[in-house]
Chain A
Amino acid sequence: MSFGGRVSVVLGLLVVVIGFAVWGVVGFLLPQPPTVDFTSAQTPTGAIDMTVQTVPAIGFGYQPVWVSYLVKNPQGQWIHSTVWKLPAHTRINVTIDQYDSGSPLRNQQWWRVQGTLGGQATYNGKPLSVYDSNTGNNGIGHTFTVPALNLSVPLVGVDGNATNTCGSAPCTTNFDHNTMKFSFMTPGAGTYSWQCFVPCGGGYLFGNGGPMTTLGYMGGFLDVVA
């Protein structure tokens, strides 16, 4: 083979290898849920209002039986995403409609509301700082926890005897649900991961697999920008 031929073979192979590497990174490592941008959605007071819901089964996509979070974008549409862009040093008023059921938790750490403004949340309009998951039929279904902000709010589950439960997302308030409200301040710019800390991956041993470890379901990012 001539010199030029050998160079061509090497360059051709190089292109193939780089192509495979780029395909692997772009196709399988980088994909994330779409980012929902709240930076231009400030109310006259400067705060941002967010509405979120948790559903027992997303009902669509490649894992329709998985539990998931959804968020309502500033245009009022429900988006299946857990990556939210927020402005820095801003008050965020969060409303979470919880459509999933709950269970008693062994770790009392996740019973507590912490890191919110005033150190409290409201549960169906009533102030809440600790929820004893061992009493009643509700239990705790999920938490909204941002470890870097020391922020964690338990999401009280729907009554275990409820019959009007939501089957697939997005759920409407006609279905049985609980509403949690709280506020927190965003820190400086950065990407802060958040996660549900209740093992809620149904079908997985100990509930820790599947949606618990998949971005877009029970965990995501607060993409805080200056």
Chain B
Amino acid sequence: MTLAAERETEVVYPDPTPPVLGGFQGLPARPGWFSQHLGTAAILAVGGYLLGHWIGNVMTSGYDNVAASGINAVPVTAGLLGGVLGWLLGIGALNYPLAKMAGMEPRPDYESTSWTRYFRYTADHKVVGMQYVIGVLGFLFTGGLLAMAIRTELLSPTSHLFGPGTYISIVSEHGTVMMMMATSVIVGPLGNWLVPLMIGARRTAFPRVEAFSFWIFTAGYLVILSALFYGGFPTGWTGYAPLQTQAPQGMMSYLVGFAVIGVGMMAAGFNLAVTIINYRAPGMTWSRIPIFVWSILATCALLTLATPTLVAAGLFGILDHTAQTAFYVTEHGGSSFLWQNLFWFFGHPEVYIMALPGFGIVAELLPVFTRKPLFAYKVAAAGMIGVALLSFFVWQHHLFQSGINPDMRPLFMLTTELISIPTGFIFLVGMGTLYKAKIRFEVPMLFCLAVFFNFLIGGVTGVFLSDVPVNVTVHGSFFVLAHFHYTIMGGLIFAFFGGLYYWLPKMTGKTMNKKLGKIHFWLMFIFFNLTFFPMFLIGLLGQPRRVFEYAHNLQALNDFASVSSFVLGASFLVFVANFVWSIFIKPTPSPANPWDSLGLEWQTPTPVPYYNFARIPVVLNDPYHYGEENPPAIADLGDGILVAAGASSPASVAEDPRPPAE
């Protein structure tokens, strides 16, 4: 069906198609328990790993260098790749292309209301979004536990819990898990769940690609985690050669895992970018799309354009370890600088892959809680595009200390400082919206305000760091560590939680406990700052990153940071308790539009029907006309229902045409 025809069609419930789970047309239907799901994915992943490992051993066990080092990277790599392939086969991600190649037709997707849909490969963007919520929280808490291990080790400069090799492995695993989580923490859960609803679409452009992005993301998580079973890797999350080249087998988990997750990032970015460009509802012009969607579009451009470099870099590293090529081995004709350039050509845009969606959430929420229009909407959108464009021209500031041509330093210092201008646009848009506002200090708003506080510190120290003399002075120290935790955790993760508290009532139909939410916020905000601010001082006093011993005179500051970090870690448990209690154990139904938002996503019934809108809405204005005397209508939902500020929510009058969930 063409897009135009699809828009003209009104969805009729119930869907007359009988529900049949997966498989191919022409083959007998299978009972639910025998169909593809998380369990079959796990079984085939283990089988694929074992088969790949065996093949790798058969191929290489007779080679001298394997015998000399006692290390063989080929079976590990083949095993990990076999595991990923088995995982995708087991979940059903490859059904469609395989069926097409075999000249068969897969069965059409169907609407499911069973809880088991969360453990399956599904074309429903809302289910994929919820799968991502749980997935990224799993990533976040794994990385958080590793952070607790780091801070426990740093309680004393001389008494050690871990060996030096184990410590750097924990640091590396923490960094890699967190960075991979952070690339998807908003685009995955909130981007996939919300973007189609916000732009008035019934689905994303490529639903199978969207689901693929999630399941390969989870495979990548398992691959990266497997590094601990192979003795870890000593490079930190940046994976620098030559350390990478001489690392043990755990390095293969890093390289394969990064490449696998990179494929997922490209898939997620491509799907959402195409959706935003092509699937907007009638009237949803570029000047009317929600600012959160602008941020996702800018992020998706970065995901699609920057990530291929990471995947290529990872493949080169895999070849160096397995096929004995020398991409990163200077002595054999390669260059360790090649890795640094490829990695940071992805890595610095990645910083904005993480920052931009956070800005989008904050800009989206501020008008709702200030009851004011978003100040300078177009400047905010321009700022996001500006940040995205400039982010491709700053990567060499990571190489200031690596022996780059000194004449290049001023150029990259300048471009790095320039990027603070469009970032400042977004910051000023927030300040303009807050100016003279009557703020509702709800939990999501508290997180948004915290983003401004934290990101100001992270951003200003970032401007310092872009300056070559300062960079040279504090390079590789805890100062740098504190800076990027202030931007990524202080910005992105706070914005993520703000977004979760804001949209979870829509996503789940349940209300999060407000008191627990505020306890979570205050603990997280206070102890985040008490954990990471001392690290600026620790860094200025000379403590390097990634080293498990430090000068005795820094123990008091380190102990203060460690104890604070334990409370920070505990604050996440408050969120988990709130989430489990409010959503699962003792759910309280949420009002249809608890924040009185004008966003299209709130104008649908809850739970949102499979096809989102029975009739595609016609958009009449941008969704930020709060606090105006005679606000214009925002959208026409059909049947005379108009969305406007002050009007009762259409969601409360438009009933879900579906039969009730089982």
Give 1 or 0 for each of B540-561: 1 = CB within 8 Å of chain A CB.
0000000001000000000000
Q: Is B246 an interface residue, CB under 8 A from the partner?
A: yes
Q: How many pairs, one residue from A and one from B, have CB atoms within 8 Å of each other in the complex?
A: 85
User: What separation, in Å, do the CA atoms of A27 and B237 have in the docked complex?
Assistant: 23
Q: Contact: B158 with A191, CB < 8 Å?
A: yes
B209-228: which residues lie under 8 A (CB-CB) from chain A?
A: 228
Give 1 or 0 for each of B136-171: 1 = CB within 8 Å of chain A CB.
000000000100010000000011111111100010
Q: Is A226 an interface residue, CB under 8 A from the partner?
A: no
Chain B nearest CB, measured from A215 CB (Å): 4
Q: Is B234 an interface residue, CB under 8 A from the partner?
A: yes
Q: Contact: B228 with A29, CB < 8 Å?
A: yes
List the A side residues contacting B149 at CB < 8 Å: 25, 29
Given the contacts A193-B160, A193-B549, A210-B69, A10 and B580 also touching, CB distance less than 8 Å? yes
Give 1 or 0 for each of B315-358: 1 = CB within 8 Å of chain A CB.
00000000000000101000000000000000000000000000
User: What separation, in Å, do the CA atoms of A21 and B80 have in the docked complex?
Assistant: 22
Given the contacts A29-B170, A203-B68, A203-B69, A213 and B234 also touching, CB distance less than 8 Å? yes
9-residue interface stretch from A59-67, A127-135, A165-173: A59-67
User: What separation, in Å, do the CA atoms of A10 and B578 have in the docked complex?
Assistant: 13
Given the contacts A10-B585, A191-B160, A210 and B70 also touching, CB distance less than 8 Å? yes
User: What separation, in Å, do the CA atoms of A52 and B65 have in the docked complex?
Assistant: 29
Q: Is B470 an interface residue, CB under 8 A from the partner?
A: no
List the B side residues contacting A215 at CB < 8 Å: 163-166
Q: Contact: A30 with B161, CB < 8 Å?
A: yes
Q: Contact: B69 with A65, CB < 8 Å?
A: yes
Q: Contact: A24 with B228, CB < 8 Å?
A: yes
Cβ-defined partner of A63 (8 Å) among B70, B170, B234:
B70
Q: Is B71 an interface residue, CB under 8 A from the partner?
A: yes
Cβ-defined partner of B246 (8 Å) among A6, A28, A201:
A201
Give 1 or 0 for each of A204-218: 1 = CB within 8 Å of chain B CB.
111011100111000
Give 1 or 0 for each of A137-168: 1 = CB within 8 Å of chain B CB.
00000000000100000000000000000000
Q: Is B231 an interface residue, CB under 8 A from the partner?
A: yes
User: What separation, in Å, do the CA atoms of A6 and B586 have in the docked complex?
Assistant: 9
List the B side residues contacting A208 at CB < 8 Å: 246
User: What separation, in Å, do the CA atoms of A221 and B162 have in the docked complex?
Assistant: 11
**For residue A207, which residue of chain B has the nearest CB?**
B246
Chain B nearest CB, measured from A155 CB (Å): 20
Give 1 or 0 for each of B117-146: 1 = CB within 8 Å of chain A CB.
000000000000000000000000000010
User: What separation, in Å, do the CA atoms of A65 and B69 have in the docked complex?
Assistant: 7
List the B side residues contacting A30 at CB < 8 Å: 161-162
B555-593: which residues lie under 8 A (CB-CB) from chain A?
A: 580, 584-586
User: What separation, in Å, do the CA atoms of A64 and B69 have in the docked complex?
Assistant: 10
Q: Is A190 an interface residue, CB under 8 A from the partner?
A: yes
Chain A nearest CB, measured from B510 CB (Å): 13
List the A side residues contacting B68 at CB < 8 Å: 65, 202-203
Q: Is A197 an interface residue, CB under 8 A from the partner?
A: no
A interface, over-half SS: mixed
Give 1 or 0 for each of A23-67: 1 = CB within 8 Å of chain B CB.
011001110100000000000000000000000000000011110
Chain B nearest CB, measured from A56 CB (Å): 12
Cβ-defined partner of B584 (8 Å) among A10, A65, A192, A205:
A10
**For residue B160, which residue of chain A has the nearest CB?**
A191
User: What separation, in Å, do the CA atoms of A214 and B67 have in the docked complex?
Assistant: 18
List the B side residues contacting A10 at CB < 8 Å: 580, 584-585
List the B side residues contacting A190 at CB < 8 Å: 158-159
Number of interface residues of B (CB under 8 A): 34
User: What separation, in Å, do the CA atoms of A108 and B170 have in the docked complex?
Assistant: 33
List the A side residues contacting B228 at CB < 8 Å: 24, 28-29
Q: Is A219 an interface residue, CB under 8 A from the partner?
A: yes
> Chain A interface: which size bin?
35 or more
User: What separation, in Å, do the CA atoms of A195 and B547 have in the docked complex?
Assistant: 14
Q: Is B530 an interface residue, CB under 8 A from the partner?
A: no
User: What separation, in Å, do the CA atoms of A6 and B242 have in the docked complex?
Assistant: 51
Q: Contact: A205 with B164, CB < 8 Å?
A: no
Q: Is A15 an interface residue, CB under 8 A from the partner?
A: no
B438-454: which residues lie under 8 A (CB-CB) from chain A?
A: none
User: What separation, in Å, do the CA atoms of A63 and B70 have in the docked complex?
Assistant: 6
User: What separation, in Å, do the CA atoms of A6 and B329 have in the docked complex?
Assistant: 55
Q: Contact: B247 with A214, CB < 8 Å?
A: no
Chain B nearest CB, measured from A16 CB (Å): 13
**For residue A57, which residue of chain B has the nearest CB?**
B70
Q: Contact: B160 with A221, CB < 8 Å?
A: yes
Q: Contact: A205 with B585, CB < 8 Å?
A: no
List the A side residues contacting B162 at CB < 8 Å: 29-30
**For residue B170, which residue of chain A has the nearest CB?**
A29
Q: Contact: B159 with A202, CB < 8 Å?
A: no
Cβ-defined partner of B248 (8 Å) among A7, A29, A210:
A210
B156-190: which residues lie under 8 A (CB-CB) from chain A?
A: 158-166, 170
User: What separation, in Å, do the CA atoms of A14 and B313 have in the docked complex?
Assistant: 38
List the B side residues contacting A3 at CB < 8 Å: 585-586
User: What separation, in Å, do the CA atoms of A25 and B150 have in the docked complex?
Assistant: 12
List the A side residues contacting B246 at CB < 8 Å: 201, 204-206, 208-209
Q: Contact: B166 with A29, CB < 8 Å?
A: yes
Cβ-defined partner of B70 (8 Å) among A21, A28, A29, A203:
A203
List the A side residues contacting B158 at CB < 8 Å: 148, 190-192
User: What separation, in Å, do the CA atoms of A173 and B159 have in the docked complex?
Assistant: 36
B225-246: which residues lie under 8 A (CB-CB) from chain A?
A: 228-229, 231, 234, 242, 245-246
List the B side residues contacting A21 at CB < 8 Å: 145
List the A side residues contacting B170 at CB < 8 Å: 29
**For residue B157, which residue of chain A has the nearest CB?**
A190
List the A side residues contacting B248 at CB < 8 Å: 209-210, 213-214
List the A side residues contacting B585 at CB < 8 Å: 3, 6-7, 10
User: What separation, in Å, do the CA atoms of A129 and B353 have in the docked complex?
Assistant: 56
Can you list 26 contacts pairing A with B, beta carbon distance less than 8 Å?
A6-B584, A10-B580, A10-B585, A24-B228, A29-B149, A30-B161, A63-B70, A65-B68, A65-B69, A148-B549, A191-B158, A193-B549, A195-B164, A203-B65, A203-B70, A203-B71, A204-B69, A205-B242, A205-B245, A205-B246, A208-B246, A209-B71, A209-B246, A210-B69, A213-B248, A221-B163
| B interface residues with partner A (beta carbon < 8 Å) | 65, 67-71, 145, 149, 158-166, 170, 228-229, 231, 234, 242, 245-248, 329, 331, 549, 580, 584-586
| A interface residues with partner B (beta carbon < 8 Å) | 3, 6-7, 10, 21, 24-25, 28-30, 32, 63-66, 148, 190-193, 195, 201-206, 208-210, 213-215, 219, 221
Known: A203-B70, A221-B163. 16 other contacts (CB 8 A): A3-B585, A21-B145, A24-B228, A29-B162, A192-B158, A193-B160, A193-B549, A203-B68, A203-B71, A205-B246, A205-B329, A209-B246, A213-B164, A213-B165, A215-B166, A221-B160
Question: 4 closest pairs, A vs B, by CB?
Answer: A203-B69, A190-B158, A215-B163, A203-B68
